[in-house]
Structure 1
Amino acid sequence: MKKYLWPSIKLTLLLVIVLGGLYPLFLAAVAKLAPGKGDGVTVTHNGRVVGYENIAQKFTDDKYFQPRPSTVDYNAASSGGSNKSAGNPDYLKTVQARIDTFMAHNPDVKKEDIPAELVTASASGLDPHLSPEAAYVQIPRVAKLRGIPADRLKQLVDANTKPPVLGVLGVATVNVLKLNIALDDLK
């Protein structure tokens, strides 16, 4: 027993130092090199912080573009998905309720034209991005409520669309918070 005790104690102390001290310090140092210096990238408007670039925000007014639904009510302190399978009856009821709500607020859109991302939450419940198509489908509602021509809103969505990295990695995305800030800034 003595033969194994001392090596076990040494290994435990080594792992405590490496994994409990050095590794977290290394990650903190790497984070300081990232945009936002490890504190998240804030979005400012008129000199005021209005949100974070990578955390969705709730927009309740129909005159704004709506983000993906959130299972955590856009609370970054408790991110997470529903963990229900696509065939789960409770999940299907939730999705149908979201479809019904979307159609009630967007009467010009046919059910088959609703992008799935507008009625399903992301894994974190905090995804701040939509595809350009999910933003385009909301244009008739926003145009009608704001009195802005639809083609002008399409230009705004296009101007706020971030292409895939290097043109091939990932998909084009629209940050909903930045899009809504640009929408408010339209004269």
Structure 2
Amino acid sequence: MKTHIGPPIRLTLVMLVLLVVIYPLVVAGIARFAPGSGKGETVSVNGKVVGYKLIGQKFTEDRYFYSRPSAVDYNAAGSAGSNKGPSNPDYLKAVQARIDTFLVHNPGVRKEAIPAELVTASGSGLDPDLSPAGAQVQVARIAKVRGLPADKLTQLVDQQTEGPLLGVFGPAKVNVLALNIALDQLK
């Protein structure tokens, strides 16, 4: 019996030390070399931290570009989606309410022109990015509220657009926090 029980117990103890102690220490050590030392990359304006680069934030004022909706109200501790499917009546009501709200604040936009990411939450609820189309569809509203020419805002969106990784992987995207900071810095 000793020959049958001994190896599994030793293997369990070795794996316990390896996976519970050594592996987390190695990952934490590697994270020290990442931007933000593994604590997240903060964004500062005039020496004041205004947010995190990779965590979405709520922007609801008409003078700013809106963020993607969040199922967790942008709470990074509770990252999650709504887990409601496209046929769920509550989900459909929430999306329709977002569409109606967007149209009220952007009266020149047709319903069909609203990019999906402006009315649907991301899987994590914390997506910090929009597609360039998601930002461009908001230009007219912001130009009117801020008294700026729309073409200047269109150029700003183009300047803040990041292409796909290595030119191939993933879609083009615009970080909403970075875009709104650049918007505030416009003269």
Pick the TM interval, shorter chain. Answer: over 0.9
Question: CA–CA distance in 1 between the matches of 2:182 and 2:49?
Answer: 15
Q: Which residue of 2 aligns with 1:154?
A: 154
Question: CA–CA distance in 1 between the matches of 2:106 and 2:12?
Answer: 60
Q: Which residue of 1 aligns with 2:131?
A: 131
1:57 aligns with 2:60: no
Q: Which residue of 1 aligns with 2:87?
A: 87
Q: Once the two structures are superposed, what CA deviation does each residue of 1:56-82 show, in whole Å capped at 9, x if it has no partner? A: 111121110001000011111111001
> Which stretch shows the higher mean deviation, 82-91 or 102-111?
82-91
Question: CA–CA distance in 1 between the matches of 2:57 and 2:165?
Answer: 24
Question: CA–CA distance in 1 between the matches of 2:28 and 2:4?
Answer: 35
Q: Which residue of 2 aligns with 1:112?
A: 112
Q: Once the two structures are superposed, what CA deviation does each residue of 1:113-169 show, in whole Å capped at 9, x if it has no partner? A: 000000000000000000010000000110110001100000111111111111111
Q: Once the two structures are superposed, what CA deviation does each residue of 1:14-43 show, in whole Å capped at 9, x if it has no partner? A: 111100011111111221222222111111
Q: Which residue of 2 aligns with 1:174?
A: 174
Q: Once the two structures are superposed, what CA deviation does each residue of 1:48-107 show, in whole Å capped at 9, x if it has no partner? A: 111000001111211100010000111111110011111222111111111111111111
Q: Which residue of 1 aligns with 2:10?
A: 10
Aligned residues: 187
Question: CA–CA distance in 1 between the matches of 2:113 and 2:60?
Answer: 22
Question: CA–CA distance in 1 between the matches of 2:30 and 2:88?
Answer: 41
Question: CA–CA distance in 2 between the matches of 1:129 and 1:8?
Answer: 48
Across the aligned residues of Structure 1 and Structure 2, the Cα RMSD in angstroms comes to 1.0
Q: Which residue of 2 aligns with 1:37?
A: 37
> Which stretch shows the higher mean deviation, 166-175 or 3-12?
3-12
Question: CA–CA distance in 2 between the matches of 1:51 and 1:166?
Answer: 26
Q: Which residue of 2 aligns with 1:141?
A: 141
Question: CA–CA distance in 2 between the matches of 1:20 and 1:174?
Answer: 38
Identity %: 64
What secondary structure is seen at the aligned counterpart in 2 of 1:33? coil
Q: Please tell me the residue identity of whatever aligns with 2:141.
A: R
> Which stretch shows the higher mean deviation, 23-32 or 113-122?
23-32
- The TM-score normalised by the length of structure 2 is 0.97
> Which stretch shows the higher mean deviation, 167-176 or 25-34?
25-34
Q: Displacement, 1:3?
A: 3.2
Q: Please tell me the residue identity of whatever aligns with 2:120.
A: T
Runs of 4+ in 1 over 3 A off after TM superposition: none
Q: Which residue of 2 aligns with 1:28?
A: 28
Question: CA–CA distance in 1 between the matches of 2:29 and 2:52?
Answer: 21
